[in-house]
Amino acid sequence: MIPDRNRENWLAPKQLAQRIQRRRFLGLTSCLLASIHSTHLWARDDKEASTVRLGLIADLHQDLVPDAAERLDTFLEHSSQHQPHALIQLGDFATPIAKNKTVIDRFNAVDMPKFHVIGNHDTDGGLKIAQVVDNWGMKNRFYAEMVQGLKLIVLDGNDKPKDHRGGYPAHIAEDQLEWLSGELQHAGPMLILSHQPLAGPAAVDNATAVQKLLSAASDRILLAINGHTHIDEFLEVGGVHYWHVNSASYHWVGSKYQHESLPKELHAKYPAMINTCPYRDALFAFLEIDLARGHLTLTGRQSAWLGPSPSDLGLANNPQVTPEIRGREQELRHKISKY
C-alpha cells in the first residue's frame, strides 16, 4: 500500500503487457439479472462492430489516498486487456494542482478517448470549476460525446442552488437542465454520467426534476452512472437504471469511527485516512454494450477490506457497503431494437 514514486512514468505498451502477466488477477464477478435468447451464431466481426466497451473508475481521491497513483495504474493495466473504446473517470479524481500533475497526465496520456466528470472534491482548496476543466483538458464542465454509436451525456452536479447555504452543493441548475433536455432529443442509445447520483442515496437536491427528464427519454437511456457514494448499488426509477460505481479506494466512515488501518507514518502523512475503511485493491469496472443484440454486461471487481470492515467498527450491515463492484447483466432489447 505504500506509494511507489518510481512507477510514475508512463509505461510503454510492451512493459504494460509484461506487468499484466505478472499481476495476480482478482476474481471478476458477474451475475445474471435477466437473460436473453438469441442466436449463438453471431460472427465475431459482427459482434465487434456493434459492441461498445467502456472502462470506468470513480472516486480515486488522489488528494487523500497514499497509493492513488498505483490504483490508477492497476486500472490502466486492466484497461489494456479489456480494450475499451473509451475510459471515464467519474470525479473526486485529483485537484488540478502541481503535485497531482503526474496522475492527471497519466490518465490523459492513454491512447484512447478519455472523459472526465467533475466531482465535488476536485475544487477543494478554493479552486474553480474552470481550473479543473482547463487542467484536465475537458471541452466543457458538462458536455456530450459519441462513442461507437453510443451518446454519452456528462453532467456537472456541482451547481449551486439559489438558496445554497454552504457545504458541497449537489444540484443541476436550470441552464444545465435546459441543455440536457435538448441533448436527450437524440434518437439513439444514450448513457448519462454524473459524479453525484441522480437517484438513490445522496442524489442531487433536484433529483425529481432530473429524473422526470430522464424518464421521458427512458426508451433510449441505457444507464445513468454515478460515483460519489462509494457504494455498490443498482436501482431502477421511472424506467431508467441508475448505477452507483464504488470508489477505487475506500468507504468513508467518518470521525465517529476513526481508526488506523495503514502504517502509522502513512496516517501521519494522509490524515483523512483514519476516517475511511480502505479497499485492499483498486476497484473499477468495465461496461460492454452489444448494441445489435441489446445486451449490457458490467464486469466488476472484488477486493477486501484492508483493516477492519465498517461492521467490525459497529456500523450497521449494509449490502451496498462492500469492497466490491458487482458484475451485472441487463437485457436492453426493448430499448435498442428500434435503432
Binding site for Zn ion (CB under 5 A): 92, 119-120, 228
In the complex, residue closest to Zn ion by CB = 228
Give the largest Cα separation in the chain, rounded: 59
Q: How far apart are CA 250 and CA 231, in angstroms?
A: 9
User: At closest approach, how far in Å is the CB of 278 from Zn ion?
Assistant: 17
User: At closest approach, how far in Å is the CB of 91 from Zn ion?
Assistant: 6
User: At closest approach, how far in Å is the CB of 337 from Zn ion?
Assistant: 36
Joined together, the cell numbers standing for residue 292 give 445489435
User: At closest approach, how far in Å is the CB of 119 from Zn ion?
Assistant: 4
User: At closest approach, how far in Å is the CB of 298 from Zn ion?
Assistant: 21
Taking the least distance from each CB to Zn ion, the nearer of 51 and 229 is 229
Taking the least distance from each CB to Zn ion, the nearer of 132 and 150 is 132
Residue type, 186: H
Taking the least distance from each CB to Zn ion, the nearer of 115 and 183 is 115
Taking the least distance from each CB to Zn ion, the nearer of 170 and 222 is 170
Joined together, the cell numbers standing for residue 74 give 492497476
Give the helix ranges, DSSP H, for 138-233.
174-183, 207-216
| Three-state SS at 308 | coil
- Which parts of the chain are beta strand (E)? 51-57, 86-89, 114-116, 143-147, 150-154, 190-194, 221-226, 233-237, 240-244, 250-252, 276-278, 285-290, 295-299, 301-302, 324-325, 328-331
Task: At 327, give phi and psi (nearest 5°).
Answer: -75, 150
User: At closest approach, how far in Å is the CB of 169 from Zn ion?
Assistant: 11
Grid look-up 486487456 returns 81
Which residues touch 135 (CB under 8 Å, ≥6 apart)?
Answer: 96, 104
Grid look-up 481550473 returns 131
User: At closest approach, how far in Å is the CB of 228 from Zn ion?
Assistant: 4
Taking the least distance from each CB to Zn ion, the nearer of 86 and 90 is 90
79 CB neighbour count, 10 Å cutoff? 22
Taking the least distance from each CB to Zn ion, the nearer of 227 and 294 is 227
Taking the least distance from each CB to Zn ion, the nearer of 123 and 261 is 123
